[in-house]
Amino acid sequence: MEATGIDVRSPVDDRLLASVDNADAATVARIVANLRAAQPEWEALGVAERSRWLHLYRDWLLDHADDLARLLQEETGKAWPESRAEPAYPVHVINYYTKHAARFLAAESPRPASILVANKRQERLLRPYPVVGVISPWNFPLALAMMDALPALIAGAAVAIKPSELTPLATRAAVAGWREIGAPDIFACVTGAGETGAALVDEVDFVQFTGSERTGRRIAERAGARLIPCGLELGGKDAMIVLADADIERAARGAVFGALYNAGQTCVSVERVYVVAEVYDRFVDAVVAEVGRLRHGAVTPDYGIDVGAMTVAQQAEIVAEHVADARERGARVLIGGSRRGEHYYEPTVLVDVDHSMTCMRAETFGPLLPIMKANDVDEAIRLANDSPYGLSASIWTRDRALARRQAQRLEVGAVNVNDVIVNLLALPLPHGGWKASGLGARNGGPYGIRKYCRSQAVLSDRFPLPLTPHWFPYKRGNAERFARFMRTAGTRDVRRRWRAITGR
């Protein structure tokens, strides 16, 4: 592999923004070796000192939030409020984990569960994987990379991020901030394409991947071959279920936001809606009216656009294919339905859709909102579960008890009631996909940081005991006594067992 550069272009006007390294395998190996060498000292600093660095880094992120937002907008074509919101996310991640890290990472001393180790002091320590590789996609370049990298750093690991080759600039700039504050050299950004990501998988001790199912499977195979753990956050086909007693206006606005936020390029986008027959017409009318109010087009750093560009032209092509397939099979477009240039597809509402259509089965990842009528809640749940994916879903009803019951019938990692996407902000809860949507989870309170650690058991004597009758050399008397002791210690009915063993 040769180390040639990668040109990063704006999806808005195709302007060349920058050229970044396309790191080859040798470069990746060198970077990881440096991180590995520096990591023990980082771990030895302890949680409090590591948190102090993270707090300094949080301040740097806040001081540079607007610069990062501008870079994000340039490389992704996101609407300005979406670009502005992203740098704030890592700040919350830092605050949450640094506040709880001492407790989440504390050693535990469980009581002995067997008389055989009654004299042992037992400790479970959490020791970080030395180097964690974070491989991230282009849709939320900064937030997704950081939400995985930061808890790993706080856990005491060194981290190398490989951002998407399509959107590496904001992440590269943010990681440079770590060096600017003078923090230990345990955080790196390795730019490059898929092969660079593959080279990273070959070097690190834990891979945290966010991206497509296809790449996720390849990473899992490679991680399996290397016997290293991996976490996979993959694609989705999130369903929204609207029941008869829902607040229809709110549900319609929620559907539109959920489907079109970030131009539909969100893993937890609303990708399909099932509405019970009683309220179907009202819901559809309200959705079309809401979509009609949106401003779509080339973004600028202000608030004039609601739905921006599609970061990847190929993704706009996928949307066009899904719409064409649905139309051929009898679906109707109520609003939108056209590609407007290489990186733009109009916000589009489809009705008369069914599960024979690609738009109801495959991830669209674009500004498309297909709505299907369901006879009742049972049919809606069945249709929602009829998917290879299981990332998240939402259910809309005024009856909270009903929502809770139905949530437990959904085969997904998260359910929002009367809301969309917001589960991503709930750091104490896990964010992870079921079925083909992933492996493991991010966040989830202690789990979000402990996942980057290996458990280590340490045992030591409470009181010095000279007796070690089970050690060499084996002697009949000792061995017999020890065997009896072992069996008797394992029983609840000691007397009967003792008689059975000894015949006395």
Residues 6+ apart with CB under 8 A from 209: 134, 135, 215, 216, 219, 230, 231, 232, 233
CA-to-CA separations, 271 to 140, 142, 300, 348, 408, in angstroms, rounded:
18, 23, 27, 12, 20
219 touching ligand NAD, by CB under 6 A: yes
Q: Is 207 exposed, middle or buried (0-12, 13-18, 19+ CB in 10 A)?
A: buried
1 touching ligand NAD, by CB under 6 A: no
CB 20 within 8 A of CB 191: yes
Residues 6+ apart with CB under 8 A from 292: 335
CA-to-CA separations, 386 to 234, 360, 362, 377, 381, in angstroms, rounded:
18, 10, 12, 14, 9
Q: Which residue of the set 233, 271, 290, 363 is catalytic?
A: 233
Q: In this chain, which residue has its C-beta nearest to ligand NAD?
A: 197
Choose one: 173-181, 205-213, 332-340, 372-380; the region binding ligand NAD (CB under 6 A): 205-213
Helix axes 476-489, 494-502, angle to 10 degrees: 150
- Residue in 155, 198, 291, 414 binding ligand NAD, rule: CB under 6 A: 198
Closest approach, Cβ 41 to ligand NAD, in A, equals: 29
Write each residue from 116 to 135 as x if it is in contact with ligand NAD (CB under 6 A), else as -, in one continuous string.
Answer: -------------------x
Nearer to ligand NAD, 279 or 391 (CB): 391
Residue 195 annotated among the catalytic residues of the structure? no
Residues 387-426 close enough to bind ligand NAD by CB under 6 A: 391
Residues 22-81 close enough to bind ligand NAD by CB under 6 A: none
93 touching ligand NAD, by CB under 6 A: no
**Separation of alpha carbons 337 and 332, rounded Å:** 10
443 touching ligand NAD, by CB under 6 A: no
- Residue in 201, 287, 360, 441 binding ligand NAD, rule: CB under 6 A: 201
Beta-bridged to residue 20, according to DSSP, are 6
3-class SS at 349? strand
- Residue in 128, 231, 366, 438 binding ligand NAD, rule: CB under 6 A: 438
**For residue 241, which of 362, 102, 387, 59 has the smallest C-alpha distance?**
387
Choose one: 10-18, 227-235, 240-248, 447-455; the region binding ligand NAD (CB under 6 A): 227-235
**Separation of alpha carbons 254 and 367, rounded Å:** 14
Choose one: 159-167, 174-182, 247-255, 476-484; the region binding ligand NAD (CB under 6 A): 159-167
440 touching ligand NAD, by CB under 6 A: no
Residue 267 annotated among the catalytic residues of the structure? yes
- Residue in 363, 368, 377, 410 binding ligand NAD, rule: CB under 6 A: 363
3-class SS at 439? strand
Nearer to ligand NAD, 10 or 171 (CB): 171
Site residues for ligand NAD per CB under 6 A? 135-139, 144, 162, 164-165, 193-194, 197-198, 201, 210-212, 215, 218-219, 233-236, 267, 363, 365, 391, 433, 438
Residues tagged active-site: 233, 267
